[in-house]
């Protein structure tokens, strides 16, 4: 690490409140939200589409974690332009066709948290803050996920503000959460928090289906279920099975023709300790190294650093 960085990379993210971040120095680069665009040597935009990516002419990178159908890429006025204007080397995401710019969705922060309740209810849980928007029933993967999390054997937690606006198809005039909603979100400041994992650990089964099943799309959902010691109900793209999930154990709805009732009842009959033993071993293996948020930061840094000149004299 250099005491005096040679380059300054502007960091932009509304979603992650980048304006409040301290400066981070890695190698020759200082990552900071406080350098202005006209004085920046590079630009890193995290999550939200930003018009700064359209204006900046130097080395830049847009790191996204949402699935391909997301509003950011299909309907957001700036996002749609970015998808057309940026080349593959300026977009870092889990499914980039070029492996050099393929950066996975982070699933955990550094060491795994095995804080668990001593006893688990013989019940299933799901934690969903985003029900999929007004037209959720037109989105194939969201429709599948919601069919499972609405099952009466599942205790559903999530944002009260979001679920208050839910409309269940086909009764779109009815506004309000489904009957299995518990009325509150999962505790903890985010989905990495120990309090969130402890809630999951109080249940035998965690319905942790992704918002999309596509090439290399793998988020924290399965990892959280495994950390909590739950039996995961999960469906994976073949590319995820063959990479991130090697050595893991779960109940796949595909084996039950995607019947929520059959899948969840089967999971509740299984030996939790058997799944827990297998998935604890999986968590402690090296499989998840690539989805540690430290690896993600390192890869973004490596991409940007490779685009900057090997030396520079700051005036």
How large is the average pLDDT for residues 296-309? Answer: 94
Q: pTM of the predicted model, to two decimals? A: 0.92
The residue assigned the tokens 């991130």 is 244
- Considering only residues 212 and 4, tell me which one the structure prediction assigns the higher pLDDT: 212
In SS3 terms, 130-173 reads as CCCCCCHHHCHHHHHHHHHHCCCCEEEECCHHHHCCCEECCEEE
Q: Rounded CA gap, 206 and 153, in Å?
A: 11
Q: Rounded CA gap, 290 and 274, in Å?
A: 26
Q: Is the separation of the CB atoms in 124 and 207 below 8 Å?
A: yes
The pLDDT confidence band at residue 311, using thresholds 50, 70 and 90, is low
- Residue 288 pLDDT more than 60? yes
Structure-token pair, residue 83 = 């998808």
């Amino acid at each position: 690490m250099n005491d005096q960085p040679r380059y300054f990379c502007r960091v932009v993210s509304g979603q992650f409140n980048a304006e409040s971040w301290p400066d981070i120095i890695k190698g020759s680069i200082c990552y900071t939200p406080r350098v202005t665009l006209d004085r920046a040597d590079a630009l890193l935009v995290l999550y939200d589409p930003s018009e700064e990516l359209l204006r900046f002419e130097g080395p830049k990178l847009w790191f996204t974690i949402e699935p391909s159908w997301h509003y950011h890429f299909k309907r957001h006025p700036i996002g749609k332009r970015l998808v057309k204007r940026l080349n593959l080397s300026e977009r870092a995401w889990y499914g980039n066709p070029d492996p050099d710019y393929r950066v996975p969705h982070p699933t955990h922060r550094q060491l795994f948290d095995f804080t668990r309740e001593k006893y688990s209810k013989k019940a299933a849980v799901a934690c969903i803050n985003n029900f999929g928007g007004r037209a959720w029933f037109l989105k194939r993967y969201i429709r599948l996920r919601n069919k499972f999390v609405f099952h009466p054997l599942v205790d559903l937690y999530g944002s009260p503000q979001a679920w208050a606006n839910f409309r269940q198809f086909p009764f779109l005039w009815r506004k309000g959460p489904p009957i299995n909603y518990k009325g509150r979100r999962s505790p903890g400041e985010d989905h990495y928090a120990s309090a969130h994992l402890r809630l999951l650990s109080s249940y035998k089964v965690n319905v942790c289906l992704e918002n999309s099943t596509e090439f290399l799309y793998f988020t924290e959902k399965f990892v959280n279920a495994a950390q909590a010691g739950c039996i995961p109900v999960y469906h994976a793209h073949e590319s995820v099975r063959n990479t991130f999930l090697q050595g893991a154990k779960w109940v796949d709805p595909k084996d039950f023709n995607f019947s929520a009732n059959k899948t969840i009842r089967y999971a509740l009959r299984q030996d939790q300790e058997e799944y827990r033993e297998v998935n604890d071993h999986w968590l402690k293996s090296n499989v998840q190294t690539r989805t540690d948020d430290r690896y993600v930061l390192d890869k973004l840094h490596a991409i940007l650093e490779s685009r900057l000149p090997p030396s520079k004299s700051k005036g």
